[in-house]
């Protein structure tokens, strides 16, 4: 287990060298909510490139496990929007990659050069977010 942790830590540390380059997504495996999904990344070692969770940079969206029925409904609509957005394009890129919490990659996500963050905000499925206290979704 310790060896696994050392290998994973080393591979994630090497992300700093690729953070300035755009990474092509090979396949979308699942979409959990509007700002979190899992992908396969071509030419990356399987331990970090297969089924890796991605957190979309710059947005806050309602949570699937929200605090009220309204938030849960908003979260499902936002998740479906993200899924359709990702599936609509032929080229998905991760840009400005950083290491986030929970073993996720934090990245700007572009589908055929269209920003997922901007699309989520403009469509009303997310708000701009850059850290700090999050606002609730139940009073909307």
d(CA 38, CA 88): 17
DSSP-assigned states of every residue in 110-132: EETTEEHHHHHHHTTS-EE--SS
- What gap in Å lies between CA 96 and CA 49, rounded to an integer? 16
Q: For 24-76, what is each residue's pLDDT tens digit?
A: 999 999 999 999 999 999 889 998 899 999 999 999 999 998 889 999 999 99
Question: Domain coordinates of the chain in residue numbers?
Answer: 23-128
**Whole-model pTM?**
0.83
80-110: pLDDT as tens digits: 999 999 999 999 999 999 998 777 899 999 9
Judge residue 137's burial from the number of C-beta atoms within 10 Å of its C-beta, 0-12 exposed, 13-18 middle, 19 or more buried: buried
CATH tag, 23-128: 2.40.50.90
Looking at residue 82, what is its pLDDT?
98
pLDDT, position 78: 97
Residue 33 has a pLDDT of: 94
Q: What is the chain's length? A: 140
């Amino acid at each position: 287990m310790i060896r696994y942790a050392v290998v994973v830590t080393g591979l994630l540390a090497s992300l700093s060298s690729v953070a300035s380059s755009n990474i092509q997504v090979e396949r979308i495996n699942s979409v959990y909510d509007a700002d979190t999904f899992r992908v396969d990344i071509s030419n990356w070692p399987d331990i970090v490139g297969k089924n890796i969770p991605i957190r979309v940079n710059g947005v806050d969206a309602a949570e699937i496990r929200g605090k009220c029925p309204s938030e849960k409904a908003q979260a499902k609509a936002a998740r479906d929007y993200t899924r359709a957005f990702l599936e609509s394009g032929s080229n998905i890129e991760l840009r400005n990659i950083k290491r986030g919490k929970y073993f996720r990659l934090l990245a700007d996500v572009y589908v055929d050069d269209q920003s997922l963050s901007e699309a989520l905000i403009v469509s009303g499925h997310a708000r701009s977010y850059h850290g700090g206290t999050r606002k609730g979704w139940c009073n909307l």
